[in-house]
Structure 1
Amino acid sequence: MGLIEDELSEVRKLCEHTIQGCKLVSCVQSMIRAEIQRTNFKKIVICIQYPKDYPNYPLLIELKSKTFSEKLLAGLTTVVEQEAKKYLGKPQVLKVLQFVKAFIDEHPLACCYDEINNLKKNLNGSQDELKLKQKTSCLYLKVFNECYYLTSKVVIPDQYPDVVIKFEDIQSNFSSTFNRHIIAQVKEIVRRCVEPPLRKPKPNEPLFKPKPSLEKAVFFLIDCIKRLPKENCQFCKTKCFPDDPSLVVLDENSPDHIERVYCGHLYHQSCLFQYLKTPPFGNKRCQTCGQKICHPKWSLSDKLAEDRWAHEQARERELAEVEEFFK
């Protein structure tokens, strides 16, 4: 038997037993094809061909994946080819398969390559950061907008995207009300990507499949810092957040307290109440986006709000008549 035949025999014998998660699909001289899988989302197919004058020349390698980025695969292919060159004159196949398996195991964030790159494009501040920690499968986010900031640790589970990512130590210098909103909203964004909706599926509706949530959730955090400090009250059109975060009104009963309505736009509390308790009544909508306004601090029905407004108007007319009488 020649060197290639001996190597093929060794690959058939050892591949699936020594490389965890490796499945040998084809192992003939014209093509070696193997699937290396850690999870459903971390799977690479490697196709190997022998060049002329092997093993004095490196293997011809092609990497394929339905989940890993094409750009990442192109870079990994180059690295794998360089690895094969280390073993010129020797069998290379098992070494290459082991190298690809080690890459998948040691780079848990590789499955988020495109998402991470897209997020970095939105970090345009000089102090903004998105640091990767491959060993712990974590991201560390820092976002700034002048004096406002937000930081968070993002933990990517091994079974991502089938399992929710975790946001730990979310901190910002917004008010406690907005911090609670940010934390609750980002958790809800992640949940909707992983868990099927509670409603009954419609006829012929495709079966729910978990989808990547990292980019969508982290972009929400970035957007909060980049957008909210500059947003105006939708009623009085003045800036809601002061330039100095220490001057943010923390008293939730204050007329100047900043309120966020269901659609995401901001109002001063006094402006919101003034808008809701004056006509026209019925399906009051945001003055900017047109969505119906919902807020936990406003529980009056449209009819009760209209009745109260009518009562106030009647009282004002009575007072005006009394004043007119004594003139």
Structure 2
Amino acid sequence: MATEDRDTVIEKELDEIKSRAPSVDGLKLIACVPMLVSASITKNEYKQLTVNIQFPADYPHQPILVQMKSKHLEQKFTDKLEKICEDEAKKWIGGRQVLVILKFIRTFLEENSLCVCSEEIVYIKRELIGESDEIKLKQKASQIVIKVRQKNYFMNVNISVPDLYPKHQIQTELIDTNLPDLLRINFMAQAKELARQCVTPPLLKNSKS
């Protein structure tokens, strides 16, 4: 049986993409031609990617080339996801890769809820977390658990990041601490107020008559 040439393989795959892509939640085709497959993948307004895919010269015996851009997600995150996708595509060498990778990206956005604050997490780890502190990410729950220790005192805090972050306010919960009640209450009040200020415009003071 004769092996299909590259152009035939790509044309058949493009037909499949056009047929099946509309049934994938959050996936919208922008272009679907031999030179380029471009699609928008959206979970919400802040978790959205435009994905551009090209077929290499020896396709399907080489992995597809993946590039991404996003209005809200950080460049470092999209660069990392590009590499993950190219590694994933290698698992499908010899077969159809495009729709598999587009679905993979959609699932990745769904399962990595903290992607929208990835650079903030990097900053926290680099600048704020000391040797005696701990930080744990719960991607599916969209939570950041931070355990802070200073001399004889400790504080365990759970930060819940809403789906529409940064439009919506984070929620901070104090899990455990041995700080005095006055400091504990003051900390939680300040944390709540700072989070509110990040999403709420300043209140206008009444002008003097």
Fold shared, TM-score > 0.5 on shorter chain: yes
Matches within 5 A, 1:294-313: none
Write out per-residue CA displacement over residues 70-127 of structure 1, whole angstroms, 9 at most, x where no aligned residue.
2222221111011111111111110010111111011111111100010112345332
Q: Structure 2 regions of 5+ residues with no counterpart?
A: 1-6
Q: Which has the larger radius of gyration?
A: 1
Matches within 5 A, 1:277-292: none
- Change in CA separation of 1:118 and 1:52 when aligned onto 2, cut-off 3 Å: same
Residue identity opposite 2:130 in structure 1: G
Partner of 1:261: none
**Higher normalized strand content (fraction of residues):** 2
Aligned length: 199
> In 1, Cα distance between the equivalents of 2:61 and 2:129?
48
Match of 2:20 among 5, 14, 35: 14
Quick check: 1:123–1:143 contact (8 Å CA) kept in 2? no
Following superposition, which runs of at least 4 residues in structure 1 exceed 4 angstroms of deviation? Answer: none
> In 2, Cα distance between the equivalents of 1:98 and 1:167?
33
Deviates most, 155-164 or 171-180 = 171-180
Deviates most, 122-131 or 58-67 = 122-131
Quick check: 2:74–2:119 contact (8 Å CA) kept in 1? yes
- Change in CA separation of 1:182 and 1:170 when aligned onto 2, cut-off 3 Å: farther
Q: Structure 1 regions of 5+ residues with no counterpart?
A: 201-327
Partner of 1:188: 193
Q: Which has the higher contact order (CA 8 A, sep 6+)?
A: 2
TM-superposed CA distance for 1:198, in Å, is: 2.4
Quick check: 1:69–1:113 contact (8 Å CA) kept in 2? yes
Give TM-score scaled by structure 2 length: 0.89
Quick check: 2:174–2:188 contact (8 Å CA) kept in 1? no
TM-superposed CA distance for 1:36, in Å, is: 0.5
Match of 1:130 among 135, 139, 142: 135
State the secondary structure of the residue aligned to 1:130.
strand
Write out per-residue CA displacement over residues 135-194 of structure 1, whole angstroms, 9 at most, x where no aligned residue.
211111111111122211111111211221111135433332222211111111111111
TM-superposed CA distance for 1:69, in Å, is: 2.1
Partner of 2:3: none
Write out per-residue CA displacement over residues 14-49 of structure 1, whole angstroms, 9 at most, x where no aligned residue.
1121x2111111111111111101011111111011
1:72 aligns with 2:77: yes
> In 1, Cα distance between the equivalents of 2:185 and 2:57?
64
Quick check: 1:55–1:91 contact (8 Å CA) kept in 2? yes
Give TM-score scaled by structure 1 length: 0.58
1:93 aligns with 2:98: yes
